[in-house]
């Protein structure tokens, strides 16, 4: 890992630079796939599944029998873990339900909001080297609680035409009834435009590689909403001399193993912790099955030594990490001063892994500095708020003159007249 000691603030942009996403060279190919799925529907999906996932499918939809097979294929310990995580995720997201409140702004004028679920949502779940069945729970659970009428899920099949059994078990447990065998760009296009088999949705959620990221960007320009801008996953650990280097190293490595473009950053006030963490990273890395991926990720990761906790916090808020772990003596006080982060983990016993799987918070979070402006997925991600207003005769007489003056000064005479005719 790169070690940087006492960087000047003018250097922070370079010090905190993420891995660049070079997407322009793949955009034409992504656009071609999207266009073909849009015009040819299922036929294009079958063709691309054979080309990219190396499987000749007889059907795109997962059958009830395949759901049953998935449940039988999983060992009981994993099924119990999935159900326990689901319970925690459901409890946390259910507590986010919106409570409407009517406000009388002036006598006779009452305004309020109503929360309405997005009717049709699509969830994309990657397969490949790390089938993200946990993401099924993170996306399907709030969708169910919100009351979305149609929830569909796409995930790439293996060469035998099967979706990973843990993904299917998690989907069924979370209440998803329609699952389709489609991966990558073609899956995003299918959900954005609909095919003979795959329904069109109004909003698409879920992570993916750079092709999926570009596909989501493309379809969101005019045709469908997406959860948030996405980039490679990342973690920042803010630690002082009281932190345990074994814990800190494990946190950095758990992030780094996500993928070669992931980033792990330690920001610390302690030279001793920095050196001990560096040694501990090397020791733990040697035992990891995904060592090659993790090593590549560590090339763009950082161990940064700063003067004090005030500077450390400034750097954290400038970086705006997807995940932030605070391992300091007074972590509660430090946490109050965090303003830019996707999800924050407090104390020595709160690793990122907890939020990734089972504590209850959502792991679909803004990356690449977007935590300065975006929130992670929550119940609100699956609802819309519609505003209402009721105005009585008394209300229009009270408020009308204000509206007339404003409309007249914006030279919108028809707006003014809509008030005038009611005041006659």
By annotation, the residues acting in catalysis are: 322-323
Conformation bin of residue 7: beta by default, left when phi > 0, alpha when psi is -120 to 50: beta
Q: From the annotation, which residues make up the binding site for substrate?
A: 233, 255, 258, 323, 356, 410, 415
Residues forming a β-bridge with 205: 123
Task: Return d(Cα 249, Cα 254) in angstroms, integer.
Answer: 9
Task: Return d(Cα 334, Cα 268) in angstroms, integer.
Answer: 13
The 3-class SS string of the chain reads CEEEECCCHHHHHHHCCCCCCCCCCCHHHHHHHHHHHHHHCHHHHHHHHHHHCCCCCCCCECCHHHHHHHHHHCCHHHHHHHHHHHHHHHHHHHCCCCCCCCEEEECCEEEEEEEEECCEEEEECCCCCCCCHHHHHHHHHHHHHHCCCEEEEEECCCCCCCCCHHHHHHHHHCCCCEEEECCHHHHHHHHHHCCCCCCCCCEEECCCCHHHHHHHHHHHCCCCEECCCCCCCEEEEEECCCCCHHHHHHHHHHHHCCCCCCEEEEEECCHHHHHHHHHHHHHHHCCCCCHHHHHHHHCCCEEEECCCHHHHHHHHHHHCCCEEEEECCCHHHHHCCCCCCCEEEECCCCCHHHHHHCCCCCCCCCCCCHHHCCCCCCHHHHEEEEEEEEECHHHHHHHHHHHHHHHHHCCCHHHHHHHHHHHC
Q: From the annotation, which residues make up the binding site?
A: 124, 186, 209, 233, 255, 258, 323, 356, 410, 415
């Amino acid at each position: 890992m790169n070690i940087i000691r006492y960087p000047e603030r003018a250097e922070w942009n370079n010090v905190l630079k993420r891995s660049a996403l070079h997407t322009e060279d793949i955009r034409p190919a992504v656009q071609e796939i999207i266009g073909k799925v849009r015009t040819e529907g299922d036929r294009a999906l079958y063709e691309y599944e054979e080309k990219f996932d190396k499987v000749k499918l007889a059907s795109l939809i997962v059958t009830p029998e395949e759901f049953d097979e998935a449940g039988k294929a999983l060992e009981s310990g994993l099924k119990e873990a999935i159900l326990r995580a689901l319970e925690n995720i459901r409890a946390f997201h259910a507590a986010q339900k919106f409570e409407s409140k009517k406000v009388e702004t002036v006598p006779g004028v009452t305004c309020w909001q109503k929360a309405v679920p997005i009717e049709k949502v699509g969830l994309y779940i990657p397969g490949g080297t790390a089938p993200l069945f946990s993401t099924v729970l993170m996306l399907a659970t709030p969708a169910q609680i919100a009351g979305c009428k149609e929830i569909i899920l796409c995930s790439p099949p293996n060469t035998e035409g099967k979706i990973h059994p843990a993904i299917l078990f998690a989907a069924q447990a979370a209440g998803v009834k329609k699952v389709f065998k489609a991966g990558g760009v073609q899956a995003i296009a299918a959900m954005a435009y609909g095919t003979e088999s795959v329904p069109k949705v109004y909003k698409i959620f879920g992570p993916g590689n750079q092709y999926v990221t570009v596909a989501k960007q493309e379809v969101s320009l005019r045709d469908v909403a997406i959860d948030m801008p996405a980039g490679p996953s990342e973690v920042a650990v803010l630690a002082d001399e009281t932190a345990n280097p074994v814990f800190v190293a494990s946190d950095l490595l758990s992030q780094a193993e996500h993928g070669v473009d992931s980033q792990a950053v330690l920001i610390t006030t302690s030279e001793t912790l920095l050196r001990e963490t560096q040694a501990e990273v090397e020791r733990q890395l040697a035992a990891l099955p995904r060592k090659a991926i993790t090593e590549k990720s560590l090339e763009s990761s950082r161990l940064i030594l700063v003067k004090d906790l005030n500077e450390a916090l400034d750097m954290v808020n400038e970086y705006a990490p997807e995940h932030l772990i605070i391992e300091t003596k007074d972590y509660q006080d430090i946490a109050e001063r965090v303003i830019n982060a996707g999800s924050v983990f407090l104390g020595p016993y709160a690793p990122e892994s907890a939020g990734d799987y089972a504590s209850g918070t959502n792991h679909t979070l803004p990356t690449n500095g977007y935590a300065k402006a975006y929130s992670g997925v929550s119940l609100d991600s699956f609802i819309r708020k519609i505003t209402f207003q009721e105005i009585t005769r008394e209300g229009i007489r009270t408020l009308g003159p204000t509206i007339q003056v404003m409309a007249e000064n914006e030279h919108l005479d028809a707006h003014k007249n809509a008030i005038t005719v009611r005041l006659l």
